[in-house]
């Protein structure tokens, strides 16, 4: 853990701040950029999000207020986020206790910004996201500003006040921060509906552990877990931040994580790519870190707009399918019908819901063609196919081609992967080669309902 903390400190201290004076080839940047040709409202190529620009503590109180200087700092932070390449930010109002309509009054006091699209009306404080258009499209050189509320939950009633109420529906994002293990279990188990994120204070001592079962429930319900890097910027809290963040990364395996800043001051913001480097400090690879402020957030925001759709409904599943960039691949697989898998000739002709890919995946249509090509090769060329193949796939070297495809999937080098046999055979070979029981460490733990052949392989040692 000390090594991780040192790495985090190095990363934080080397990240650029807003007052850094960057020069290239002896010439200072003049701040002018050439605009690309095209419509000014064209969609940006990269969409980066910071869903937690924190408002002052006073903003979270009913009928709370902010001074003109505080609003000026908020606008400065939004401008800095835009300069760093963020397309969407969310202003976070943290409340303690129950959410009431009085909490919305503060949003009418925000000064207007010419280059920002707000998701609410400054006159009425009401949500106007439809007037802003799709959240996935942001005008060039502009920024979308959303409203977020985070409820500090110490009692169940506090969670109910942000659970699909008229007031909570005025916010684009609703998050809860459980203050004890009981409330974390309640939030992760779906006790409160229409919650988008579960936020934990990564810089504080929790007094409980983030358990696999609890966090797994949250992930299965589609909730995102927030990691704010503000705690990593302070040397006094950095050790605790690294410890807590590494624990969350470990139990989630990098899934459904949302990286945010959680900062109030503009010079505390970091660019998206600097956040990626910070993820290295908690042993999270760059692709998974990027998903936390790019891919995951894009999906989160789109789904959050669809109020009234439960995450366990067919409508939610269909909406997610429609957003899936791999949706076109479905047609490349043979989908058994309900009648076929039930042996009922009078059953439904609709495709079944297939959830057995762990045992045997669906057959790609291309597989039949590939197998037939090999059968033809065997029939027409015989042993010659070992070295000279009509389709440039000589059998003698199949292993090398398969390993090149497998290595990236398992995160290993080509010289570290072997593709051979079936599972039971490999279990037997592995134990025959490496199982050398000595002393008291002589027992093998095996799942009770594993395939019988796997039991035979273990028991034969």
For the segment 236-260, what is each residue's pLDDT rounded down to a tens digit? Answer: 888 888 888 888 888 887 778 888 9
Q: Whose CA is closest to 272, among 284, 286, 282, 252? A: 286
Radius of gyration for the alpha carbons in the chain, expressed in angstroms and rounded: 27
* Predicted pLDDT of residue 372: 95
Distance between CA atoms of residues 50 and 53, nearest Å: 7
For 419-450, write each residue's pLDDT tens digit. 888 888 999 998 888 888 888 888 888 888 88
Q: Whose CA is closest to 351, among 363, 334, 368, 367? A: 334
* Predicted pLDDT of residue 38: 39
Residue with tokens 């090594």: 3
444-460 average pLDDT score:
86
Q: Please state the length of the chain.
A: 461
Query: pTM for the whole thing?
Result: 0.56
Instruction: Decide which of 420 and 317 is more confident.
Output: 420
- Average pLDDT for the chain: 79
| Residue 383, helix vs strand vs coil | helix
C-alpha angle with apex 305: 299 to 307, nearest 5 degrees?
120
**Environment class of residue 327 by beta-carbon count within 10 Å: exposed (0-12), middle (13-18) or buried (19+)?**
exposed
* Predicted pLDDT of residue 448: 83
Give the list of residues 6+ apart from residue 268 with CB closer than 8 angstroms, or none.
230, 233, 261
* 40, two tokens: 């000014």
* Predicted pLDDT of residue 17: 45
Q: Looking at the predicted structure, is the pLDDT value of residue 451 above 50? A: yes
- Mean pLDDT is lowest, of 63-77, 195-209, 360-374, for 195-209
| Residue 59, helix vs strand vs coil | helix
Distance between CA atoms of residues 407 and 419, nearest Å: 10
| Percent of the chain residues topping a pLDDT of 70 | 79
| Residue 263, helix vs strand vs coil | strand
209 pLDDT tier (thresholds 50, 70, 90):
confident
- Mean pLDDT is lowest, of 174-188, 398-412, 414-428, for 398-412
Residue with tokens 């976070």: 92
For 386-404, write each residue's pLDDT tens digit. 999 998 889 988 888 888 8
Distance between CA atoms of residues 175 and 132, nearest Å: 22
| CB contact at 8 A, 54 and 94 | yes
* Predicted pLDDT of residue 231: 87
For 77-123, write each residue's pLDDT tens digit. 999 998 888 888 999 999 988 888 999 999 989 988 888 888 888 88
| Residue 166, helix vs strand vs coil | coil
C-alpha angle with apex 299: 229 to 406, nearest 5 degrees?
85
| CB contact at 8 A, 266 and 16 | no
Give the list of residues 6+ apart from residue 408 with CB closer than 8 angstroms, or none.
none
For the four alpha carbons of 448, 450, 455 and 461, in that order, the dihedral sign comes to negative
206 pLDDT tier (thresholds 50, 70, 90):
confident
- Mean pLDDT is lowest, of 7-16, 158-167, 320-329, 434-443, for 7-16
| CB contact at 8 A, 224 and 233 | no
* Predicted pLDDT of residue 6: 52
| CB contact at 8 A, 175 and 226 | yes
* Predicted pLDDT of residue 376: 95
302 pLDDT tier (thresholds 50, 70, 90):
low
For 126-139, write each residue's pLDDT tens digit. 877 543 334 445 55
| CB contact at 8 A, 264 and 91 | no
* Predicted pLDDT of residue 19: 44
* Predicted pLDDT of residue 77: 93
């Amino acid at each position: 853990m000390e090594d991780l903390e040192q790495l985090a400190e190095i990363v934080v201290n080397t990240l650029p701040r807003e007052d850094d004076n960057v020069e290239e080839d002896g010439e200072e940047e003049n701040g002018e950029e050439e605009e690309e040709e095209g419509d000014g409202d064209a969609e940006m190529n990269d969409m980066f999000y910071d869903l937690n620009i924190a408002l002052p503590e006073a903003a979270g109180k009913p009928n709370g207020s902010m001074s003109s200087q505080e609003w000026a700092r908020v606008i400065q932070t939004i401008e800095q986020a835009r300069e760093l390449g963020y397309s969407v930010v969310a202003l976070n109002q943290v409340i303690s206790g129950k959410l009431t309509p009085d909490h919305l009054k503060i949003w009418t006091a925000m000064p207007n910004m010419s280059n920002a699209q707000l998701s609410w009306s400054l006159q009425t404080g009401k949500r106007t996201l439809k007037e802003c258009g799709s959240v996935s499209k942001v005008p060039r050189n502009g920024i979308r500003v959303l409203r977020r509320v985070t409820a500090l939950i110490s009692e169940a009633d506090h969670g109910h006040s942000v659970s699909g109420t008229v007031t909570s529906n005025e916010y684009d994002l609703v998050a809860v921060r459980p203050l004890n293990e009981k409330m974390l279990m309640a939030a992760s188990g779906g006790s409160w509906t229409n919650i988008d994120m579960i936020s934990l204070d990564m810089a504080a001592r929790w007094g409980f552990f983030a358990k696999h079962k609890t966090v797994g429930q949250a992930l299965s319900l589609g909730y995102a877990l927030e990691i704010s890097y503000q705690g990593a910027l302070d040397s006094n809290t950095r050790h605790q931040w690294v410890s807590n963040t590494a624990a969350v990364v470990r139990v989630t395996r990098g899934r459904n994580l949302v990286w945010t800043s959680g900062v109030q001051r503009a010079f505390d913001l970091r660019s998206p790519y600097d956040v990626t480097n910070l993820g290295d400090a908690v042993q999270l690879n760059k692709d998974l870190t990027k998903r936390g402020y790019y891919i995951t957030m894009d999906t989160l925001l789109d789904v959050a707009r669809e109020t009234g759709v439960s995450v366990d409904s067919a409508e939610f599943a269909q909406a997610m399918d429609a957003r899936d960039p791999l949706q076109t691949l479905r047609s490349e697989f043979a989908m058994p019908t309900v009648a076929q898998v039930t042996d009922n000739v009078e059953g439904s002709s609709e495709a079944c819901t297939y959830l057995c890919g762990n045992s045997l995946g669906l057959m790609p249509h291309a597989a039949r063609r590939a197998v037939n090509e090999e059968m033809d090769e065997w029939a027409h060329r015989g042993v010659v196919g070992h070295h000279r193949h009509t389709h440039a796939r000589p059998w003698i070297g199949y292993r090398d081609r398969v390993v090149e495809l497998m290595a990236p999937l398992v995160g290993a080098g080509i010289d570290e992967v072997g593709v051979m046999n079936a599972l039971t055979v490999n279990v037997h070979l592995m134990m025959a080669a490496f199982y050398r029981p000595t002393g008291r460490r002589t027992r093998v733990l095996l799942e009770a309902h594993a395939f019988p052949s796997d039991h035979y392989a273990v028991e034969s040692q």
